[in-house]
Amino acid sequence: MRFAEFFAGIGLVRMGLEKANWSVAFANDIDPLKEGLYSTNFKDAENHFVLGDIHNLDAATIPTVDLATASFPCTDLSLAGSRKGLSGSQSSAFWGFTRILEEMGNRRPPLIMLENVPGFITSNKGEDFREALLELNRLGYKVDTFMIDAVNFVPQSRLRLFIIGSINTVSGVNDSQLMFYQSALRPQQLASFIYSHPEISWNIKDLPFLPSLKSSLSDIIEPIAENSKEWWSQDRVDYLINQMSPRHLQKLAEMKESPTISYGTVFRRIRQNKSMAELRTDGIAGCLRTPKGGSAKQILVRAGKGNVSIRLLLPQECARLMGADEFVISGSNNQALFGFGDAVCVPVITWIAKNYLTPLFQQISDKQLIESELLYTSV
């Protein structure tokens, strides 16, 4: 079971697939900083990693594989990108991926997996999502889609949308069945989209229940010395606290006065044109982001026994929040944080591979074998 990964980033999709016995044959990304992190962690990168714009790749150079993955840029599908959609300068990279699939012709992989933010569903009032799925249909892929929050696997709230495309699949779904697919993995918004678009060629699969989280934010904290330069000065701590609303100040006071140490995370957000510090204390980190600005960096609060200490999350802690505990950090902290903010949670990918991709690949392979035997017998 071989795969090619496009928009490979720092390699967390690869890491997740390899844990389910898939092997990489090709990887591509445009960012040299991400390539550096990828190469640090995967010593065979020089054999298959191609640095460059997907629009410039020659399909003839892509090896024949069983699966192609694409975590294409989400910027234009989100509010941060002004919702420019698939015509935006970054998210239009989707069309670079489909061009390669088309030009591969009969070497096209039987399976594809795309990943992006939930905002893809509503981008341009749903037209971007519809257009993308119809394009995959045109290339011969029946499609399925679902959403998974990484919080089922790691103490980080990170909801992502997945699309699976399959060629030569065993069975599809008829229009009358589409209304029955609302579930934890296909919430109402997504189920409604599926039901209201029977013109799309669907291949919806039943999926098992997701696991329950067995860890907490405290489990990923790196033990560092009290006098470490990572901990903020009192002035900086006070400045952040002064940006909290009364409700969040109350949360912090309860943490501080507790006889035990606990942890929370803070994001700075603009509320009514004012910078506010919002504290989360449920043992779950907020969604990691790319550190393009100070507000995107997640802040760790440690409090209890009358004390409050504050610092930024460390790259190794971010790796653990992505289920990539063994990831080797290289380069600057900002480079590592950028790589993780753009990445996919490792155990989510492993779960999809074990519960969806591998069984479906086996079905496709078995069907092809039967068809080959029938053809041989008829001849």
- Residue 224 predicted with pLDDT over 90: yes
Query: In the chain, pLDDT over 90 holds for what percent of residues?
Result: 74
Mean pLDDT, the chain, whole residue set: 89
Which has the higher per-residue pLDDT, 192 or 373? 192
The candidate with the shortest Cα–Cα distance to 286, out of 217, 364, 226, 356, is 217
Partnered with residue 3 across adjacent β-strands are 24, 67
- Section 17-37 average pLDDT: 96
pTM of the predicted model, to two decimals?
0.90
163 membership: H or E segment, kind and range: strand 159-166
> Distance of alpha carbon 258 from its chain centroid, rounded?
35
Residue 181, pLDDT score: 65
Please say whether the beta carbons of 197 and 137 come within 8 A.
no
Which has the higher per-residue pLDDT, 365 or 82? 365
Tens-digit pLDDT profile for residues 193-222: 999 999 999 999 989 999 999 999 999 999
φ, ψ for residue 135 (rounded to 5)? -65, -40
Identify the residue whose tokens are 């606290």: 241
Tokens of 88: 């935006």
Tokens of 93: 């990279």
Residue 233, pLDDT score: 96
Taking CA atoms, 16 is separated from 5, 21, 62, 327, 364, in Å, by 12, 9, 21, 12, 22
Residue 169, pLDDT score: 64
Q: Contacts for 239-242 with beta carbons within 8 Å, 24 or more apart?
A: 240/266, 240/277, 240/299, 240/310, 241/277, 241/308
Which has the higher per-residue pLDDT, 282 or 123? 282
Q: Please tell me the distance from the alpha carbon of residue 336 to that of residue 340, in angstroms, as a whole number.
A: 6
Tokens of 159: 């909801």
Q: Please tell me the distance from the alpha carbon of residue 140 to that of residue 98, in angstroms, as a whole number.
A: 11
φ, ψ for residue 91 (rounded to 5)? -70, -15
Tens-digit pLDDT profile for residues 104-124: 999 999 999 999 999 999 988
Tens-digit pLDDT profile for residues 341-357: 889 999 999 999 999 99
pLDDT confidence tier of residue 173, bands split at 50, 70 and 90 = low
Where, residue-wise, is CATH 3.40.50.150 in the chain? 2-213+340-378
Residue 270, pLDDT score: 82
Q: Please tell me the distance from the alpha carbon of residue 119 to that of residue 260, in angstroms, as a whole number.
A: 39
- Superfamily of structural domain 2-213+340-378: Vaccinia Virus protein VP39 (3.40.50.150)
